Amino acid sequence: MTDAAWEHDVATLWAADLDDEGLVARMTSLAAAAPHPALAAFELGGAYDSTGREADADAQYAAATAAGLAEVDPDRAARMVVQHASTLRNLGRVEEAIAMLRDAPEHPATGAAPRVFLALALHSAGRVDEALRVAIEAVEPTLPRYHRSVRAYAAALTD
């Protein structure tokens, strides 16, 4: 299978309306044919993640990192930060999720997602004022007006 064919099959699978078992089974098969182990682990981790199997997702995301996903596919690596941190939050490892999201680089593949998921993790940690501030600061650049006021109100939440 060519790299392009594999990518097409992965995209087709993600667009399909499958039950959890079907998604994981088909992604397991595609992962076995992946052009690189990091890609296989990332996509399989995503399948586990989206079907509520967070512990399995965590293991696959760690494998993707170890296999060099950042060098192989920077877009997927940026997305994986968000996905892995969300998984960690769901596993109760909130402080790890917060650290991962605070260190997340800005990337076009994720936009403001790392900050939105950081807000969720902070909320899970009981740091609600900080969570609200992060969420407001994430959307502030998209507002047509009121930037100065919104920034000031957000800052006042944790000052």
**pTM of full prediction above 0.95:** no
Model confidence at 2, pLDDT cuts 50, 70, 90, reads confident
**CATH number for 79:** 1.25.40.10
131-143 confidence digits (pLDDT tens): 999 999 999 999 9
Is residue 65 one of the residues assigned to a domain? yes
Domain presence at residue 153: no
- Note whether residue 54 is domain-resident: yes
Q: Which pLDDT tens digit goes with each residue over 64-99? A: 999 999 999 999 999 999 999 999 999 999 999 999
Structural domain total, the chain: 1
DSSP 35: S
pLDDT tens-place string over residues 97-108? 999 999 998 899
Domain extent at residue 15: 3-126
Considering the domain boundaries, does residue 133 fall inside one? no
Classify 82 in phi/psi space as left (phi over 0), alpha (psi -120 to 50) or beta: alpha
User: 3-state SS of the chain: helix, strand, coil percent to 5?
Assistant: 75, 0, 25
